[in-house]
Structure 1
């Protein structure tokens, strides 16, 4: 059966000589994997740009009652990025966030609220010309709410992460006293993200480390976020 749906590309892996297997979060079917043939061919006919992380697509896809990997009948860009491909900071942020979504969102069923959050957040990010330094932090806080473990305050994040850090003293995680300084920053990001006064890149990286640890407490087998090192390097001040 064919289904028409919008989709948010999460990632892809190479498959055979010129094909890929791409994971897409679809509006109608949740997380799906598709084989796309002849997409990696050289020259002007290549359509690999359409399967970069967080690309937005209009698609007609095959479905099967057996589940598993299927195919895309038709696909085209649903929104043409105006800034992201030309800004290494933005593209690095989206690479990181797409990996986080890929590792945390697993359901093969529709979730309109989550899909619209992802779709609209990506467009909003592309439209921002400045003042987007905290976007990845705000995005992860809002995503956690859609995933069912959104914090109500900065203290909730800090207390949970600090408790596990104290219980695992062999780690190099910040102490409870040091992490209390982050509570106000998280409160700002939760309640007034546009006005959050994060002072510099160093503090942002520390907040992100705490937030990733918070995710690890709530998402089984989150694993290593491979794109984090790239993001940290690009955003370093």
Structure 2
């Protein structure tokens, strides 16, 4: 049966002489793998294979069979045309971080509607946002992905609860008896990020590159505590080098 769905390309791997196997986070079916025949041939029609770049948002018409691990695409086209993401090295690096985080988190072919819509919206806002917003976007996105996957932070920073226990995911009055926690400075910054109701508000949260670096690695440790198969990411060092702010 054919279905219409939007999707975000996560990975494309060469298969055979002319084909690709493409991993796509879809609106309807969550994470899916598709074989696209002829996407790498010399024929003009194969130029559409260039649309299957990680981060691209697509409109899809797909065949779906729940008992199969590898699906097929009937039609696909761009669902959003980026204006700056692919040209601006900072925005492109942030987009690659977003895509890698999803690759690490999404393992099963199950629908995640809220996460899908949030990711698509974030990528589109990344395309039009100023750099002051972009610098804090990886932190904000990481916290929100955790929330959508079921391990959101509980409580808020205050003078009575100044420590964020990453192991329990909650703010506490005293530092816990383990290393997986944030001190009051970083706990407060995390609360400011988490309380943001719109991406544009991220520009108002001021921090230097060292604080961003420490927070991002703390959030990734938080993921490892709550997702047993979450493995080390490769994009954060590149991200910190490119942002440098």
Same structural fold, with TM-score higher than 0.5 when normalized by the shorter chain: yes
What TM-score do you get using the length of structure 2 for normalisation? 0.83
Question: Distance in 1 between the 2:219 and 2:43 partners?
Answer: 42
Q: Which moved more, 1:46-55 or 1:36-45?
A: 36-45
Match of 2:166 in 1: 160
Work out whether residues 11 and 99 of structure 1, in 8 Å CA contact, stay in contact via their aligned partners in 2: no
Work out whether residues 101 and 233 of structure 2, in 8 Å CA contact, stay in contact via their aligned partners in 1: yes
Q: Displacement of 1:181 after TM fit?
A: 2.4
Q: Displacement of 1:97 after TM fit?
A: 1.3
Structure having the higher helix fraction is 1
What SS does structure 2 have at the residue aligned with 1:73? strand
Match of 2:88 in 1: 87
Q: Which moved more, 1:178-187 or 1:119-128?
A: 178-187
What SS does structure 2 have at the residue aligned with 1:158? strand
Match of 2:5 in 1: 5
2:190 to 186, 194, 216: 186
Q: Displacement of 1:231 after TM fit?
A: 1.7
Question: Distance in 2 between the 1:90 and 1:205 partners?
Answer: 17
Provide, for residues 174-195 of structure 1, a one-character-per-residue CA deviation record: whole Å limited to 9, x for no partner: xx6x733211110111113535
Question: Distance in 2 between the 1:141 and 1:156 partners?
Answer: 18
Q: Which moved more, 1:6-15 or 1:38-47?
A: 38-47
Structure 2: tracts of 5 or more residues without a match: 168-174
Q: Displacement of 1:16 after TM fit?
A: 1.8
CA RMSD in angstroms, aligned pairs only: 2.5
Work out whether residues 7 and 24 of structure 1, in 8 Å CA contact, stay in contact via their aligned partners in 2: yes
Provide, for residues 69-103 of structure 1, a one-character-per-residue CA deviation record: whole Å limited to 9, x for no partner: 11111000000001100011111111111111121
Match of 2:117 in 1: 116
Question: Distance in 1 between the 2:183 and 2:210 partners?
Answer: 14
Match of 1:213 in 2: 221
Question: CA distance change for structure 1 residues 42 and 228 in 2, over 3 Å: closer, same or farther?
Answer: farther
Question: Distance in 1 between the 2:20 and 2:242 partners?
Answer: 28
Q: Displacement of 1:60 after TM fit?
A: 0.7
Q: Displacement of 1:163 after TM fit?
A: 5.5
Work out whether residues 163 and 183 of structure 2, in 8 Å CA contact, stay in contact via their aligned partners in 1: no
Question: CA distance change for structure 1 residues 67 and 97 in 2, over 3 Å: closer, same or farther?
Answer: same
Match of 1:235 in 2: 243
Question: CA distance change for structure 1 residues 76 and 109 in 2, over 3 Å: closer, same or farther?
Answer: same
What TM-score do you get using the length of structure 1 for normalisation? 0.86
What SS does structure 2 have at the residue aligned with 1:166? coil
Work out whether residues 61 and 74 of structure 1, in 8 Å CA contact, stay in contact via their aligned partners in 2: yes
Give the number of equivalent residue pairs. 228
Counterparts of 1:122-161 in structure 2 under 5 Å?
A: 122-131=123-132, 132-152=134-154, 153=156, 158-160=164-166
Question: CA distance change for structure 1 residues 112 and 156 in 2, over 3 Å: closer, same or farther?
Answer: farther
**Is the aligned partner of 1:102 residue 2:115?**
no
